[in-house]
Amino acid sequence: MTTMQTGASEASPQRDGYELVVGLEVHVELATATKLFSPSPNRFGDEPNTNIDPVTLGLPGALPVLNRRAVELAMRIGLALNCTVQACAFHRKNYFYPDMPKAYQISQYDVALNVDGHLDLPDGSRVGIERAHLEEDTGKSTHMGGAGGRIHGSESSLIDFNRAGVPLVEIVSRPDLRSSEQARAYVNELRAILTAIGASDAKMEEGSMRVDANVSVHRPDEPLGTRCEIKNLNSVRSVGRAIDYEAQRQIAMLEAGDEVRQETRHWDEGDGRTHTLRTKEDADDYRYFLEPDLVPLEPEAEWIAQVRAALPMLPAARRARLAEATGAPVGGEAVGVVVERGQDDYVLAVGAAGGDLARALVHVKEGYAEQGTAPVVPAADLAALTTMETGRTLTATQAKQVLAELVAGGGGDPGAIAAAKGFEAMDAGALETLVDDAIAANASAWAKYEAGEDKAAGALVGAVMKASRGQADGAAVTALLRTKRT
Residues forming contacts to other proteins in the complex (CB under 8 A) are 54, 57-66, 92, 94, 96, 98, 101-104, 151, 157, 159, 285, 287-289, 292-295
Phi and psi angles of residue 143, each rounded to the nearest 5 degrees, phi first? -95, 125
CB of 79 to other proteins, least distance (A): 25
Between CA 393 and CA 473 the distance in angstroms is 8
Between CA 245 and CA 82 the distance in angstroms is 32
Between 294 and 320, CB nearer to other proteins: 294
User: What letter does residue 142 receive in the DSSP assignment?
Assistant: E
Between CA 371 and CA 369 the distance in angstroms is 6
CB of 229 to other proteins, least distance (A): 18
Cα–Cα distance list, 263 to 214, 226, 241, 273 (Å): 10, 9, 19, 15
Between 66 and 430, CB nearer to other proteins: 66
Between 63 and 475, CB nearer to other proteins: 63
Between 101 and 355, CB nearer to other proteins: 101
Q: Which long-range contacts (CB under 8 A, 24 or more apart) does 295-303 make?
A: 296/87, 296/88, 296/89, 297/66, 297/71, 297/87, 297/88, 297/89, 297/90, 297/113, 297/134, 298/87, 298/88, 299/71, 299/75, 299/85, 299/87, 299/113, 303/72, 303/75
CB of 365 to other proteins, least distance (A): 50
Between 60 and 257, CB nearer to other proteins: 60
CB of 64 to other proteins, least distance (A): 7
Contacts of 420 (CB under 8 A, 6+ apart): none
CB of 294 to other proteins, least distance (A): 5
Between 32 and 216, CB nearer to other proteins: 32
- Is-contact 157 145, C-beta < 8 A? no
CB of 260 to other proteins, least distance (A): 23
